[in-house]
Amino acid sequence: MGKLFAVVVAIIALVSAALFASHIWWLPVDISAHGHAIDRQLSETMVTSGALFVLSQLALAVFAWRYGDRRDGRQVKTFPGGATPMVVFATVLVGAEVLALTFVGSKVWAGIYQTAPDPNSLQIDVQAEQFAFYFRYPGADRTFGAVHPERIDEASGNFFGLDPANDSTARDDIVVPSLAIPVNRPILLTLRAKDVNHAFYVPELRIQQDFVPGLVIPLHFTATQTGKHEIVCTQLCGLGHYNMRAYVEVMSQEQFDQWLKERAAEQ
């Protein structure tokens, strides 16, 4: 029984490690300026924890193989002091590893979230609600109209609660259900939620950030490749959550200017 167990443990450990090492299921393409730091951090974490995982599973297999089936009547020796010191040692060791990875990883995280956005960023306002995203560009005056949550009205398409009758800056705001951004240009999103928590997740941008009602959460990044990708909500926000998504299209600056002009004409 011990030998069978040893073989099964070794096979499971090696096959599962091989699946990760061969990158059969791996990250999608990275189209962000900051993504390489996240990917490198993730790889380092996977390599160190993966090596420890394989070594410990193989050690377990070796001991099970050598000692699992021994029936020679010898009394089982116990570790000096019993099992407690071993368990404490292992817990501290694993805890130290997790803590070290957290400190190393937080640097990468802070580099994205705790840094100021580029002052020349293109600002886009985002509203999340059950179960859709809306994106707002400031229009020709480059100024966003003020938002009034009590004026939000889906029926008339006033998703942000603008007051164009009294607020001239709101008149040319462009509101669309799909995000378009120019490539290689710093983008600053301001995330708002109408009702409950939602999330802005674009794996290709290596970005995931919650929306929280009552907060305006800034999020900045730069896309480095053109293309169209899905934005999905990753906070379980209600019955239609599974279908809450939009698209982000990264375009050349010329294409983007053209796109914006066309959307402005449609408003």
- Positions touching Cu ion (CB under 5 A) are 198, 233, 237, 244
Contact indicator for 206, 31 with CB cutoff of 8 Å: no
Residue (2 or 238) nearer to Cu ion, CB: 238
CB 42 within 8 A of CB 105: no
The tokens for 21 are 């090492």
What is the nearest approach in angstroms of Cu ion to the Cβ of residue 254? 33
Contacts of 18 (CB under 8 A, 6+ apart): none
Task: Look up residue 183 and give its DSSP letter.
Answer: T
- Residue 31 in tokens: 């189209």
d(CA 4, CA 6): 5
Nearer to Cu ion, 61 or 129 (CB): 129
Tell me whether residue 136 or residue 198 sits nearer to Cu ion (CB atom).
Answer: 198
- Indicate the Cα dihedral angle 72, 78, 83, 87, nearest 10°: -70
Q: Tell me the closest approach of the beta carbon of residue 151 to Cu ion, in angstroms.
A: 22
Name 207's Cβ contacts closer than 8 Å, sequence gap at least 6. 32, 112, 200, 201, 219, 221
Nearer to Cu ion, 97 or 210 (CB): 210
Residue 22, token pair as written in the block:
């061969």
Strands (E), 37-156: 122-129, 132-137
For β-strands 186-193 and 198-202, DSSP reports them as: unpaired
- Report helix angle 35-67 to 84-113, nearest 10: 170
Pick between residue 170 and residue 233 the one whose CB is nearest to Cu ion.
Answer: 233
**Structural contact between residues 205 and 238, judged by C-beta atoms closer than 8 angstroms:** no
CA angle in degrees (0–180, nearest 5) for 28-220-173:
110
